[in-house]
Amino acid sequence: MVARSSVRGRARAWATDAAADPTLVVLAVTIVVVFAGFSISRSDFLSVENVRNIGQQTAVIAVISVAMTLVILGRGLDISPGSTVALTGVLGALMLQDGVSTPIALVAVVLAGAGVGLVNGILIGGFGVSPFMATLATLASARGAALLLSNDSGVRVDNATVAWFGDGRIGPVPVSVVVAALAIAVGWALLNRTEFGRWVRAVGGNAETAKASLVPVRNVRAATYVLTGAAAGVGAVLTLGRLGSAQPLAGSGLEFSAITAVVIGGTKLSGGEGGITGTVLGAILVGVISSGLSFLQVPQETTYFVTGGLILVAVLLHRPDLVHTARGAPWALAAAIRRRRSPLGAGAGAPAGARTVTFRGVG
């Protein structure tokens, strides 16, 4: 009874979050419209098997996007998950070929991903390196290591357990989708039901204030990158099972899809604001669009253009002041940008009493 009450409570919380945020409603409606559009274009797009394939393709994006949400909420950025998937996948495949037991190899894959995340965390949290430059370095290093260890070729994996993770089913549901659902539940609980989640939001909102409130800012930031690395390791296991081999170029563009899902889902790149529910809807939307365009045999570069457009739209939706100003004269738009850059912010010259502070869910 306690377990059922807990699950129902979480379901009600998710439903409440969706109803309270119009962005989530818009995302849900967009997913339905996009799916309907592809179904009209190709009647077989709506088949059960194709829906399962979309779920399998979206699962890896969702797992990494959940962890990426924590990174961006903490005012960070990680562009290395794709390379981490490739490196950890190659390491796991080589271990299995050498006769290492399957459970040890799979755990090693996840731990290796966490190790890459730990390197990012030390560089960013410990030495204060820019998140972009630190993760760019690990992106290049991990990709180079994957190519070196695999001799620039794929490493075959002939293992029933690994294949089950990537292509197996629990009833009608793919195992990879179940794994993604578990990752989503853990990420949501971590962000909304633990002190660590509150710390992440505090660090992203104002790191100096969080530090003054005795929040371990550096450790919190480092921990978010470790989680993203571990999520990439889980993604590597799912990718190994789906492809049946470890490819040194696997995961190319995966970080782009994950960041897109997070931003579309309402998490601000400036940190401190966002949530897991929006990220999940964003991942589903990215997965449906990518799968639909591939199903219609649209060139890959067109997919990149569409994804880039989604990011631009999401950013504009998060800056309604610029959208409304842009409807006027161009010089008014420039003035709005200058006000944003001024030390006093956009509120300079605003009449007294024009501000409103609202608290929700304060404990």
User: Domain count of the chain?
Assistant: 1
Q: What is the pLDDT of residues 61-85, one digit of tens each?
A: 999 999 999 999 999 999 999 999 9
Residues 6+ apart with CB under 8 A from 343: none
Q: Which two tokens stand for residue 85?
A: 């998937």
Between 51-60, 89-98, 249-258, 295-304, the lowest mean confidence (pLDDT) is in: 295-304
Q: How confident is the model at residue 314 (pLDDT cuts 50, 70, 90)?
A: low
Domain that holds residue 63: 59-252
User: What is residue 359's predicted lDDT score, i.e. its pLDDT?
Assistant: 87
**184 has pLDDT over 50:** yes
Structural domain contains residue 101: yes
Q: Which two tokens stand for residue 242?
A: 């789906």
Structural domain contains residue 40: no
Between 86-95, 176-185, 250-259, 306-315, the lowest mean confidence (pLDDT) is in: 306-315
Q: What is the pLDDT of residues 19-49, one digit of tens each?
A: 456 778 888 888 889 888 888 888 788 888 8
Residues 6+ apart with CB under 8 A from 313: none
Q: What is the spatial distance between Cα 89 and Cα 174, in angstroms, rounded to a whole number? A: 20
Distance spanning both ends of the chain, measured CA to CA:
26
Q: What is the spatial distance between Cα 280 and Cα 17, in angstroms, rounded to a whole number? A: 13
What would the mean pLDDT of 100-112 be, rounded to a whole number?
A: 96
Q: How confident is the model at residue 301 (pLDDT cuts 50, 70, 90)?
A: confident
User: What is residue 338's predicted lDDT score, i.e. its pLDDT?
Assistant: 58
Structural domain contains residue 73: yes
Q: What is the spatial distance between Cα 104 and Cα 111, in angstroms, rounded to a whole number? A: 10
**173 has pLDDT over 90:** yes
**341 has pLDDT over 70:** no
User: What is residue 281's predicted lDDT score, i.e. its pLDDT?
Assistant: 93
Structural domain contains residue 169: yes
Pairing of strands 169-170, 245-246: unpaired
Structural domain contains residue 51: no
User: What is residue 358's predicted lDDT score, i.e. its pLDDT?
Assistant: 85
Compute the Cα dihedral for 200, 72, 19, 172 and give only its sign.
negative
Between 133-142, 159-168, 261-270, 298-307, the lowest mean confidence (pLDDT) is in: 298-307
Structural domain contains residue 188: yes
Q: What is the pLDDT of residues 191-248, one digit of tens each?
A: 999 999 999 999 999 999 999 999 999 999 999 999 999 999 999 999 999 999 999 9
b/e burial code for range 238-249 (CB count within 10 A of at least 16 → b): bbbbbbbbbbbe
Structural domain contains residue 1: no
As a whole number, the mean pLDDT across the chain is 85
Structural domain contains residue 244: yes
Rg, the chain, Cα only:
21
Asked whether 15 and 272 are in contact (CB, 8 A), the reply is no
Higher-pLDDT residue of 306 and 65 is 65
